[in-house]
Amino acid sequence: MYEFSFEFADSDEASASALTSLYRWLREDETVTGEVKIALGEETRPEAMGAVEVVTALLTQLTATGSLAVSFLTWRDSRPAAPRVRIRNGKASIDGNDAEITPERLAAALRALAEADVRETGYGDVEG
């Protein structure tokens, strides 16, 4: 199982609205829902001195990173002003606001994060 969390840098009302919007977007995207389990919740972050609200994506196969990347970038590009978002896997993260990132580059970065986490923890079944 591979886990990625989408978190917003700001804890204001606009970010809370964006978090809910992303959650709904991913849950309703048929290309994602068959391969990825989406959840809304909190994660503890020592640097944030408490819990941070996140959208979590659980993948059973790394091949699902492609559909997750396309869906996230489509959501981000549909927003009038994209909020600052980080995509995390373990200790590593990706800047989700990089205007240069393509679905292919984001999917490759997600796979690299997952593979690095597997090497570090020994968990997971790396495919793709």
Q: What integer pLDDT is reported at residue 110 of this predicted model? A: 84
By C-alpha distance, which of 121, 100, 85, 97 is closest to 3? Answer: 121
Q: What is the pTM of this model?
A: 0.80
Query: Is residue 127 included in any domain, yes or no?
Result: no
Query: Is residue 89 included in any domain, yes or no?
Result: yes
- Whether 51 has a pLDDT exceeding 70, the answer reads no
**Radius of gyration for the chain, computed over Cα atoms and rounded to the nearest angstrom:** 14
Query: What average pLDDT does this structure show over 40-64?
Result: 78
Query: Is residue 71 included in any domain, yes or no?
Result: yes
Query: Is residue 55 included in any domain, yes or no?
Result: yes
Give 61-115 pLDDT, tens digit per residue: 888 888 999 999 999 889 887 777 888 887 678 887 777 778 888 888 888 877 7
DSSP string, 3-66: EEEEEES--SHHHHHHHHHHHHHHHH-HHHHTTEEEEEEEEEEGGGTEEEEEEEEEESSGGGHH
Query: Is residue 74 included in any domain, yes or no?
Result: yes
Query: Is residue 49 included in any domain, yes or no?
Result: yes
Q: What integer pLDDT is reported at residue 128 of this predicted model? A: 40
By C-alpha distance, which of 116, 120, 52, 114 is closest to 86? Answer: 52
Task: Provide the CATH number for the domain around residue 69.
Answer: 3.30.70.100
Rounded CA separation 32/42 (Å): 21
Query: Is residue 14 included in any domain, yes or no?
Result: yes
Q: How many residues does the chain have?
A: 128
Q: Classify residue 110 as left (phi > 0), alpha (psi -120 to 50) or beta.
A: alpha
Query: Is residue 88 included in any domain, yes or no?
Result: yes
Rounded CA separation 22/58 (Å): 15
Our count of domains for the chain comes to 1
Range of the domain at 13: 2-121
